[in-house]
Structure 1
Amino acid sequence: MRPSIVSLPPPVTGSELTHSYFTRWKDPVFPRYLVTVESFEVIGLEFVPIIIFLVYMPGDMTARFENADAENEEELASCMLGVGFFVDRMATSRSFESLSQAEKWDAVDHLFWDWSPEHRYIIGVFRGQEMYYGAPRVSSRPSTNWRKLVTSADDKRLGNPHIWLIGDSIHSMFPSRGMGGNQAMRDTADALPLLVRLAETAKTTEELKEADIIQACDRYEGAVIPRAFEWVQRSGGKNPMVSAL
């Protein structure tokens, strides 16, 4: 298994949101009623603390559930566990980063001690896995003419139309909506025909002008900024606790 835990910047002092991603498992450790084929199931979603559990099971896994002796192909299934909580409600006064792996799981487990057996079971399955702890960012929406506003004759790097921003480099968002990767691919689809057109122009007898590059960049960002930042807002804006709802 390859889990990772991500800590999101708190909207107020003392809050954290963590996610743990598990890309595979070999044994059907989850009871069948906890898993929905060809979909995902959010078992729990409370404001504080929060637990998010997502499972994807391809359609051809149905027969495997019906045959207890069948071996699961680990690349066919994936799941994610996320938890969110206020740091000041942890059972320890130490920072989460300073805890050992076992102590981190103890702290998480304590937050859900009075939850249902189903929730506790899920946490128990993931317990003990190595955690990756990071701090993603969420972007503020720029104006569509931001490059003109920052352009400087003294520093050609600022607002340079030769540098196009795709994905998290322009519209990082919280992962709870599952749209960051999709938006990055859509950015690429918007950029590609414009870049191809510029490349074709450069190969012809026509000289590729700086104005051509600026115009193409403006067209690209004119499409990307309104579309992608709507999803930044839907992912929770700058409030990671709301983003999980």
Structure 2
Amino acid sequence: MPETSLRVLVIGGGIGGLCLAQGLRKAGVDVAVYERDRTRTDRLEGYRIHIDPHGAKALHACLPAETWETFVRSTVDLGSFRFLTEDLQELMVMEQDARGAAGSGPTERSHAIDRVTLREVLLAELDEVLHYDKKFERYERGPDGEITAHFADGTTATGDVLVGADGVNSPVRKQYLPHVERVDTDAYGIGLKLPLTEEVRAWLQPPLSTGRSMIMAPAPFFLSISVFDRTAAMDDLPETRGDDAYVGSAFVIRRGACPANIEALDGPELKGLIERLVGDWHPQLRRLIAESDPESALLVPYKTSVPVKPWETTNVTLLGDAVHSMSPVGGMGGNTALRDADLLCRQLVSARDGKVATTEAIRAFEAGMLEYGFAAVRKALQYQKQGLQSNKVAVSLSRVFFRAMNGMMQRKRQPAREPARSGARR
């Protein structure tokens, strides 16, 4: 069928919106992104992000070949994923090759990349379609079905499809689906960053010096530690504004265990709170927290979207956190947004090519997105609940389980014994 015209307006320049724009631009679809940030460098902060195979496949599908190669070169291996006690006793280790077979391509395995670096990659070659300082206020649907977006500066933009990729507080969602809710979960997260200097490398010992570690204790909190270090391959990496080597910590605590004024605490006070709560943990863990940069402390109230039933499809839709925001535990939010971007891109290209009506393409996207998106929401809440388990009996049973599983995995890695030779004496 002959190609038709299709103009897509994307509200929001986060991970999902930029990935969608890259994919549509690659396919030759008329796309424009409207971002409330005033400049390209307004969001230059953050920690590393874990890109799983779903996210990697989406990026590979949407990014031009050269930009995809830049992404791959900008990542580092995740390393082993360990479950440890607060005394650093090993419960279970999941090697990286368990998530991607040895020798598998970059779309089949997980990656770690600095969030700032990932944003720089996603912004590549989008200068002509990205419009900054555009705070979305509302949209109107014209008699012919076209959508006009109105911005705070008095300007407008008109297109055939409007995509709300504008995050957890999405103004598009509030107008389009005002009944969709986000609610508090039973947790806060506090992020910290420790620059991986030569001095830190000298005292930070295994198992905390590489990969990822989940510290499980019989308490209403847990600690996730991730080492990000791309200095070993700096000569082969593109220049970005991201940090190159640091240890990121995420301290997740049940709301009931927090001081009432936690949202009023500054960085040093948040770090001090963690130090007091882990005061009887292993010295390496205590030092890791103590030497982290207090100015890097970031408090995040963990919230989640309430599952929503399918709605009547129109030429307005949503992706990522705008529709299925989730607890950060498990690192699935960004990957799900990338998956949304890939699926919506493919559906809109089919509509542009006249293979299917635009509303039918969006309906197919929404059906898939709601299914896997809210499955991820449920899984993230499950992970959070398991991590916040403070019942000592339950934690002890979990530790027994992890040790047993680790023993089984270790036995599987051992080479089989050489069979007895025929004719051997009995």
Q: TM-score range by the shorter chain?
A: 0.5 to 0.7
Alpha-carbon distance between aligned partners in 2 of 1:125 and 1:9, rounded to the nearest angstrom? 31
User: Relative to structure 1, is the Cα distance of residues 44 and 88 closer, same or farther in structure 2, using a 3 angstrom cutoff?
Assistant: same
**Is 1:85 aligned to 2:253, yes or no?**
yes
What is the TM-score normalised by the length of structure 1?
Answer: 0.67
What is the TM-score normalised by the length of structure 2?
Answer: 0.41
Alpha-carbon distance between aligned partners in 2 of 1:117 and 1:26, rounded to the nearest angstrom? 18
Alpha-carbon distance between aligned partners in 1 of 2:319 and 2:380, rounded to the nearest angstrom? 18
* CA drift at 1:192: 0.8
**Unaligned residue ranges in structure 1 (runs of 5+):** 62-72, 149-159, 202-207
Residue aligning to 2:378? 233
Amino acid at match of 2:224: I
Task: Tell whether the 8 Å contact from 1:177 to 1:243 is kept in structure 2 after alignment.
Answer: no
Alpha-carbon distance between aligned partners in 2 of 1:190 and 1:3, rounded to the nearest angstrom? 26
Residue aligning to 1:165? 318
**Unaligned residue ranges in structure 2 (runs of 5+):** 1-43, 48-182, 234-240, 390-426
Alpha-carbon distance between aligned partners in 1 of 2:370 and 2:256, rounded to the nearest angstrom? 37
User: Identity, % of aligned pairs?
Assistant: 18
Alpha-carbon distance between aligned partners in 2 of 1:88 and 1:171, rounded to the nearest angstrom? 25
The 3-state SS of whatever aligns with 1:147 is: coil
Equivalent residues, number: 199
The 3-state SS of whatever aligns with 1:178 is: coil
Task: Tell whether the 8 Å contact from 1:53 to 1:82 is kept in structure 2 after alignment.
Answer: yes
Alpha-carbon distance between aligned partners in 2 of 1:174 and 1:84, rounded to the nearest angstrom? 11
**Is 1:194 aligned to 2:347, yes or no?**
yes
Residue aligning to 2:386? 242
User: Relative to structure 1, is the Cα distance of residues 94 and 216 closer, same or farther in structure 2, using a 3 angstrom cutoff?
Assistant: closer
Match of 2:364 among 219, 223, 230: 219
Alpha-carbon distance between aligned partners in 2 of 1:87 and 1:228, rounded to the nearest angstrom? 25
Amino acid at match of 1:107: L
Task: Tell whether the 8 Å contact from 1:17 to 1:240 is kept in structure 2 after alignment.
Answer: no
Task: Tell whether the 8 Å contact from 1:18 to 1:82 is kept in structure 2 after alignment.
Answer: yes
User: Relative to structure 1, is the Cα distance of residues 142 and 53 closer, same or farther in structure 2, using a 3 angstrom cutoff?
Assistant: same
User: Relative to structure 1, is the Cα distance of residues 110 and 213 closer, same or farther in structure 2, using a 3 angstrom cutoff?
Assistant: same
Q: CA deviation digits over 1:71-115, x for unaligned, max 9?
A: xx974334321113345545xx55112334333322221111111
**Is 1:126 aligned to 2:292, yes or no?**
yes
Q: 5 Å matches for 1:69-80?
A: 75-80=243-248
Residue aligning to 2:69? none
Match of 1:56 among 218, 228, 232: 228
User: Relative to structure 1, is the Cα distance of residues 103 and 193 closer, same or farther in structure 2, using a 3 angstrom cutoff?
Assistant: closer
Task: Tell whether the 8 Å contact from 1:51 to 1:83 is kept in structure 2 after alignment.
Answer: yes
The 3-state SS of whatever aligns with 2:326 is: coil
The 3-state SS of whatever aligns with 1:135 is: strand
The 3-state SS of whatever aligns with 2:189 is: strand
* CA drift at 1:25: 2.9
* CA drift at 1:177: 0.9
Task: Tell whether the 8 Å contact from 1:43 to 1:119 is kept in structure 2 after alignment.
Answer: no
Residue aligning to 1:68? none
Alpha-carbon distance between aligned partners in 1 of 2:212 and 2:378, rounded to the nearest angstrom? 23
* CA drift at 1:58: 4.3
User: Relative to structure 1, is the Cα distance of residues 21 and 193 closer, same or farther in structure 2, using a 3 angstrom cutoff?
Assistant: farther
- Greater strand fraction, Structure 1 or Structure 2: 2
Task: Tell whether the 8 Å contact from 1:176 to 1:244 is kept in structure 2 after alignment.
Answer: no
* CA drift at 1:142: 2.2
RMSD after superposition: 3.3
Amino acid at match of 1:49: F
Alpha-carbon distance between aligned partners in 1 of 2:336 and 2:266, rounded to the nearest angstrom? 36
- Greater helix fraction, Structure 1 or Structure 2: 1
Residue aligning to 2:311? 147
